[in-house]
Structure 1
Amino acid sequence: MYQNSKFKVPMQRNLFLVVLINWTLEYSTILWGHTLTVLN
């Protein structure tokens, strides 16, 4: 039980990190798209 809960926390943190990175990449891409559209 202790090992299971100990293993579960880093997994949730990694999942959160992956989601955060994916969201940041998507947002940056959209932002760059708007910037290029404005420049053109």
Structure 2
Amino acid sequence: MMTPQIIRGRRMTAVLFVSAVVMTAAAAVAALVRYIPQWSGS
């Protein structure tokens, strides 16, 4: 039996997990954008 509290908690966990993945991906993209001109420029 799924109680509303469990569903809400799992939804919050999923939101936090997705936001952490998005932030990690954004940091990786920013690092790539920062480093790629050094590789291709020189």
Higher helix share: 1
CA RMSD in angstroms comes to: 0.9
In the other structure, the counterpart of 2:35 is 34
Instruction: Report the TM-score, using the length of structure 1 for normalisation.
Output: 0.82
Q: Partners in 2 of 1:35 and 1:5 — Cα distance?
A: 44
Q: Quick check: 1:17 aligned with 2:10?
A: no
Question: 4+ residue stretches of structure 1 with deviation over 3 A?
Answer: none
Q: Which runs of 5+ in 1 are unaligned?
A: none
Instruction: Report the TM-score, using the length of structure 2 for normalisation.
Output: 0.79
- Return the index of the structure with the highest Cα Rg: 2
Query: Aligned residue pairs: how many?
Result: 39
Q: Which runs of 5+ in 2 are unaligned?
A: none
